Amino acid sequence: MNKIAQIFETLEYGPAPETPDQANAWLDSKNRVFGHFINGAWTAPGKTFPSTNPANGEKLAEITDGTSADVDLAVKAARTAFPLWSGLSGYERGKFLYSIARMIQKHSRLFAVLETMDNGKPIRESRDVDIPLVARHFYHHAGWATHLEREFPDHVPYGVCGQIIPWNFPLLMLAWKIAPALAAGNTVVLKPAEFTSLTALLFAEICERVGLPKGVVNIVTGEGDTGAALVNHSDVDKIAFTGSTEVGKIIRAATAGSGKGLSLELGGKSPYIVFEDADLDSAVEGLVEAIWFNQGQVCCAGSRLLVQESIEERFIAKVKKRMANLRVGDPLDKSVDIGALVAPVQVERIRDLMKKGVAEGAVVYEPDGAVPSNGCFLKPALVTNVSPANTLVAEEIFGPVLVAMSFRTPEEAVALANNTRYGLAATLWSENINLALDIAPKLKAGVIWINGTNQFDAAVGFGGYKESGYGREGGREGMGAYLKPKWEKDLKPAPAAKSVSAKATNPLDAGHLDQTAKMYIGGKQARPDSGYNRPVHGPKDDLVGEVGDGNRKDIRNAVEAARAALGWGTTAAHSRAQVLYFLAENLDYRRDEFAARIKAQTGEDGSREVAQSVERLFAFAGWADKYDGAVHNPPMRAVAAAMVEPLGVIGIVAPPSRPLLGSIALIAPALAMGNAVVLVPSDRSPLSMTDFYQVLETSDMPSGVVNIVTGESVGLAKTLAEHDGVDGLWFAGPAEASAMVEKASVGNLKQTWTSRGLYYDLADPRFAGDYFLSKATQVKNVWIPYGA
Ligand code: NAI
Ligand code: MG
């Protein structure tokens, strides 16, 4: 070996430390003890806890543990500031956001160093990724503020937003929460994570410097119970949370029935798929980004490597070789790849999970070499020899631990990738564009990266499917999540529904009716599992018919049929439109018969309701091929295709009034967007929809796409809410039952819409557009390499 080659072989990195002096000077200027930032001023410190540097265990500052009285004070300040802030023009608000972005750029190194000291992430990341993305987020939303009125007509801000963020990207998560909230005209109370409050407190100072009106941004520090106090505060209008799925579920249950807006960005176990035709060296580099970026403490970390069997050995060898070159150490050293984990408790948690995984058969590879003994350091780890049931495959580890499995065919890759309760992100590598673009739509995740990974931009929505939560941050979707329709505040309580007659009747009295309307499941008429029927009464309590009394089993059958019909979602939009037009046509053809049936049940002339139902089907047929996505141009060598996808199976419990339109107005948008539906029609007047099966059968609607189960609404709604095969649930009914539905939907975090006892006039044209279309869909952002 010649001399130069030798030097290259042995070349060691010299230390390249970033100085902590300015960050320390800032902390000293605060005497290293902090109160909250409320109403534009600092409160006196209360009971405090330490914030430490996980790389060396040194205490950085004392942070106040917020009480519910502190939270209350902050919410009051935000409430008081709301009229002024929301009353400013978008342009005025935009200028504040712009100033914040400028100030963050101006002080970017201070923010980066402080972030690294408090969190343990390598300075290279806080400097080159976190802080630039923070500035970008404020710039982007300065623009949204300016254009809000035109882009979101008839929308208003929620009011006071409670925002709770995790410790893995402390300032970036703050930016993702605060920038859109302020752009929309909301005021906020934000609680940083207990391990990492410092950059949020520095940010509060930026708010002071730019002259943000007092009370618009309030920062209350503290632990989980401080967060819970914010969630449960009755004067908070919306909660936005990022963190563990476990706490996300607690928050979903706690806000059920409150009418608070809610967005949840939760955990993940994202697949990283490498096909045999991938550029393997690039895929290895991507993998380093996917799982060792931020020590693997990333909600969208590519923590499950799925590699095609034919290249498995070669690829794993390359990965191991690369792992040996990763430098673990002082996060303030500019040439360190892997810094410290956030806190000792996380290190323990990861070690415990690994022990468990190993006991279940996993084999762990870690490169040679030592890591600093003092501080929260872990080596990068590669786990093999695991089955899908292994703890390390199923659980979010949130550490530098990669789990590898192999697959033979693309179909198997998709099945393995989707075999998780999460659905945040997925990465795939292939040089074959056909394969890549065939697989991307099949992955059940909110973000897909093709031949790249961990790309983020303010213009591109980010958020998950399934138990990874709901709502998006960034992009138009993220902006919309901080706005609500103007008319919502004018909704009046729904008139008390006339209850289904409780009159004790001899069930045999109904025997003279020669026909009981059947349920409709999987394209077939079905008798109720219970073997019981329910009477249907007219306006004068006269018996006008009978329907099956559906139960749990009928719902299960219907959900199974709906799941088998999910192919509807990939049917061409044009074809779905044709079926909806056909439904409209066939309903119109039988309008007299349907009008008479409405009259028999309600006493009202039904012809107008039938006409409105036909029109609504027509309207959504028109939407089927128009409510679609966008292509974003983030500032990197890629485009992000924002694809609008159906939720899957939507349970729809129709309101008691308007036996036909009440159901049609809800199923039409769901069907137009490609969902399969389990419908519980009006429990008082179900006959219009049991008649409707004949229209379905003559309109080329594939079996199983629409299933109709008659019976008592609230009981059936509960069963739907608890069923993990249901992806979304819309419930029109009383307030208490709406709360029950929201609470019971916690299991698989299904997306719910409930009427909360309010009267939604479904005949109103405002329901013929994106109101329900947006609830019937979720956006998947597919990042595709593009341009130079
Ligand atoms: P966590 O979900 O408990 O903490 C996130 C935030 O929620 C913090 O600000 C915390 O104070 C707050 N919080 C906790 N309990 C609350 C409650 N009942 N009501 C309102 N707010 C509450 O996460 P933690 O315990 O810090 O980390 C545990 C695990 O969670 C991690 O190992 C990781 O697996 C996962 N995690 C996932 C994140 C993600 O972005 N997907 C972020 C943080 C944690
Ligand atoms: Mg800390």
Give the closest ligand to the alpha carbon of residue 120: 2
CATH code, domain with 218: 3.40.605.10
Pairing of strands 519-521, 271-274: unpaired
Burial of 352: CB neighbours in 10 Å, binned 0-12, 13-18, 19+: exposed
Give me the number of domains the chain comprises. 3
Most informative mutation of 51, 165, 244 for ligand 1 (most atoms within 8 A of CB): 244
Residue 223 alpha carbon to ligand 2 centre in Å: 13
15 has a pLDDT exceeding 90: no
Min mean pLDDT across 490-494, 506-510, 707-711 is at 506-510
Burial of 148: CB neighbours in 10 Å, binned 0-12, 13-18, 19+: buried
Q: How many CA atoms lie within 13 A of 252 on its CB side?
A: 30
3-state DSSP call for residue 384? strand
Claim to verify: residue 73 and residue 171 sit in the same structural domain: yes
* Structural domain for 554, as ranges: 525-785
- How far lies 367's CA from each of 347, 371, 378, 382, 398, in Å? 18, 11, 11, 9, 19
Claim to verify: residue 224 and residue 251 sit in the same structural domain: yes
| CA-proximal residue: ligand 1, atom 8 (nearest) | 193
515 has a pLDDT exceeding 80: no
Residue 540 alpha carbon to ligand 2 centre in Å: 69
Give a yes or no: residue 338 inside a domain: yes
| CA-proximal residue: ligand 1, atom 36 (nearest) | 244
Q: How far apart are CA 464 and CA 444, in angstroms?
A: 9
Note residues around ion ligand 2 (Cβ under 5 angstroms).
Answer: 51, 118, 195
CATH code, domain with 442: 3.40.309.10
What's the rounded mean pLDDT across residues 560-577?
Answer: 98
Smallest CA-to-CA distance from 595 within 582, 581, 611 is with 611
510 has a pLDDT exceeding 70: no
Residue 228 alpha carbon to ligand 1 centre in Å: 12
In this structure, the residues whose C-beta lies within 6 A of any atom of ligand 1 are 164-168, 191, 193-194, 223-224, 227-228, 231, 242-244, 247, 250-251, 266-267, 299, 346, 349, 396, 398
| Tens digits of residue pLDDT in 114-153 | 999 999 999 999 999 999 999 999 999 999 999 999 999 9
pLDDT score for 156: 98
| CA-proximal residue: ligand 1, atom 29 (nearest) | 244
What's the predicted TM-score (pTM) here? 0.96
pLDDT score for 694: 95
| Tens digits of residue pLDDT in 59-94 | 999 999 999 999 999 999 999 999 999 999 999 999
pLDDT score for 568: 98
756 has a pLDDT exceeding 70: yes
Confidence of residue 496 (pLDDT cuts 50, 70, 90): confident
Q: What percent of the chain has pLDDT over 70?
A: 98
356 has a pLDDT exceeding 60: yes
Claim to verify: residue 409 and residue 453 sit in the same structural domain: yes
| Tens digits of residue pLDDT in 218-266 | 999 999 999 999 999 999 999 999 999 999 999 999 999 999 999 999 9
The number of beta carbons lying within 10 Å of the beta carbon of residue 355 is: 13
Give a yes or no: residue 337 inside a domain: yes
Confidence of residue 455 (pLDDT cuts 50, 70, 90): very high
| CA-proximal residue: ligand 1, atom 14 (nearest) | 224
- Which atom of ligand 1 is nearest the CA belonging to 250? 18
Claim to verify: residue 301 and residue 437 sit in the same structural domain: yes
Structure tokens at 319: 């990965």
Domain-terminating residue out of 437, 453, 485 = 485
Claim to verify: residue 352 and residue 278 sit in the same structural domain: yes
What's the rounded mean pLDDT across residues 774-788?
Answer: 95
3-state DSSP call for residue 529? coil
| Tens digits of residue pLDDT in 330-355 | 999 999 999 999 999 999 999 999 99
Query: Which residue matches tokens 């009008």?
Result: 595
pLDDT score for 513: 57
Give a yes or no: residue 151 inside a domain: yes
Q: How far apart are CA 27 and CA 413, in angstroms?
A: 50
- Which atom of ligand 1 is nearest the CA belonging to 247? 2
Residue 378 alpha carbon to ligand 1 centre in Å: 21
- Annotated active-site residue 265? The verdict is yes
722 has a pLDDT exceeding 70: yes
Q: Measured between alpha carbons, how far apart are the two ends of the chain, in Å?
A: 38
Claim to verify: residue 105 and residue 205 sit in the same structural domain: yes
713 has a pLDDT exceeding 60: yes
Instruction: Please say whether the beta carbons of 367 and 320 come within 8 A.
Output: yes
Most informative mutation of 119, 130, 164 for ligand 1 (most atoms within 8 A of CB): 164
Give a yes or no: residue 4 inside a domain: no
- Which atom of ligand 1 is nearest the CA belonging to 268? 41
pLDDT score for 6: 74
Q: What are phi and psi of 751, to 5 degrees?
A: -80, 130
Give a yes or no: residue 537 inside a domain: yes
Claim to verify: residue 431 and residue 481 sit in the same structural domain: no
511 has a pLDDT exceeding 60: no
Q: How far apart are CA 662 and CA 357, in angstroms?
A: 51
497 has a pLDDT exceeding 80: no
110 has a pLDDT exceeding 90: yes
| Tens digits of residue pLDDT in 207-221 | 999 999 999 999 999
Claim to verify: residue 289 and residue 402 sit in the same structural domain: yes
Give a yes or no: residue 512 inside a domain: no
Give the closest ligand to the alpha carbon of residue 230: 1
269 has a pLDDT exceeding 60: yes
Residue-averaged pLDDT of the chain: 96
pLDDT score for 14: 80
| CA-proximal residue: ligand 1, atom 43 (nearest) | 243
pLDDT score for 12: 73
Q: How far apart are CA 365 and CA 360, in angstroms?
A: 16
Claim to verify: residue 243 and residue 290 sit in the same structural domain: no
Contacts of 283 (CB under 8 A, 6+ apart): 274, 315, 429
In sign, the C-alpha dihedral spanning 134, 136, 139, 142 is: negative
Claim to verify: residue 431 and residue 547 sit in the same structural domain: no
Claim to verify: residue 370 and residue 241 sit in the same structural domain: no
560 has a pLDDT exceeding 90: yes
Residue 195 alpha carbon to ligand 2 centre in Å: 4
| Tens digits of residue pLDDT in 423-441 | 999 999 999 999 999 999 9
- Which atom of ligand 1 is nearest the CA belonging to 349? 32
Residue 55 alpha carbon to ligand 2 centre in Å: 9
The catalytic position among 265, 289, 477, 742 is: 265
Claim to verify: residue 291 and residue 262 sit in the same structural domain: no
Give a yes or no: residue 519 inside a domain: no
Residue 700 alpha carbon to ligand 1 centre in Å: 48
Give a yes or no: residue 14 inside a domain: no
Query: Which residue matches tokens 């809800």?
Result: 666
- How far lies 235's CA from each of 116, 239, 259, 482, 510, in Å? 35, 11, 11, 16, 51
